[in-house]
Amino acid sequence: MLIYKHSTRCGISSMVLDRLERTWTSEDNPIKPYILDLISFRNVSNAVAQHFQVYHESPQVILIKDGKAIYDASHMQVSFEALKSQAQ
């Protein structure tokens, strides 16, 4: 599972989301993505950061496997290839 923490007020967050969506493929892809709107659901974002013990950033991806955060990246380090390699 992937959580993408997205700020609808941030141009960089929109740019990173667009880049991720353009490169995302379903082919041989075990990752189930979820987008978390930080503006509308800040309390959920805070709970995610606390539960998975990942410092909050935006934009940010958190890859979760077996109930644990196994990878996180923010800003321009967010890439489909990096996520795919971490998920395997």
What's the pLDDT tens digit per position in 39-51?
A: 999 999 999 999 9
Q: How confident is the model at residue 55 (pLDDT cuts 50, 70, 90)?
A: very high
Q: How confident is the model at residue 5 (pLDDT cuts 50, 70, 90)?
A: very high
Looking at residue 25, its pLDDT comes to 87
For the chain, give the mean pLDDT: 93
Q: Is 64 exposed, middle or buried (0-12, 13-18, 19+ CB in 10 A)?
A: buried
Q: Which domains does the chain have, with CATH numbers?
A: 2-87 (3.40.30.10)
Residue 28 has pLDDT above 80, yes or no: no
Long-range interactions of 64-69: CB distance < 8 A, separation 24+: 64/1, 64/2, 64/3, 65/1
Q: How confident is the model at residue 87 (pLDDT cuts 50, 70, 90)?
A: confident
Nearest CA among 26, 11, 24 for reference residue 58 = 11
